[in-house]
Structure 1
Amino acid sequence: MDVQARAQAEIDTVVGEGLQRLPHWEDRPSLPYIEAILKETLRWHPAMPLGIPHASVDDDIYEGYYIPKGLSSLFGSRAPLTVFLVLRSDSVGECVVCP
């Protein structure tokens, strides 16, 4: 069974076939697969940047681009790349939506 079909089956079991009602917060303990999908989605693509902002200390030209002194950059370090690689690695932690 694919992920979407399994998720739909879990929702149908909890709220009834054909969505007789929308899921409520109180249904959360009964929807472990849906919660696992949400966690895996946020692990794979976080909703917010996870880097540390940096600012240039001097005017600079990098690969033909002018970077003025004081320019703030969230992606001016390797931290976002490191976080990106860790979050994308299947060897870190356990795959929560794997069968």
Structure 2
Amino acid sequence: MVNTLRLVELWHDRRRNTGLHSDKEWDRIRQLAQSLAQRLTRTIEGEHFFFVGCLGARATAAAITDLATEIGKVAEEWERSLKLMLPTGDQPINR
């Protein structure tokens, strides 16, 4: 797993040593991180027991399914971005 501090260290080391990374790549990673709250939030209308009953249960299940799909997309984007920055052999995401 790569935490934020390690990601920044890798970025600076690789950029300084190889020149392989551009500001565009860093911006892509930054934008992805900033989009997480919006991308990984789902809202279901209702009160305390919104999930009780057919409509609430259906809405909850749909939100969970949609969220699981979005988590997969985010993981793929992170992995693609981090592969550009990690030394050969490091694994960006442990599944």
State the TM-score, normalized to the length of structure 2: 0.37
Q: More strand per residue: 1 or 2?
A: 1
Higher relative contact order (CA 8 A, sep 6+): 2
Q: More helix per residue: 1 or 2?
A: 2
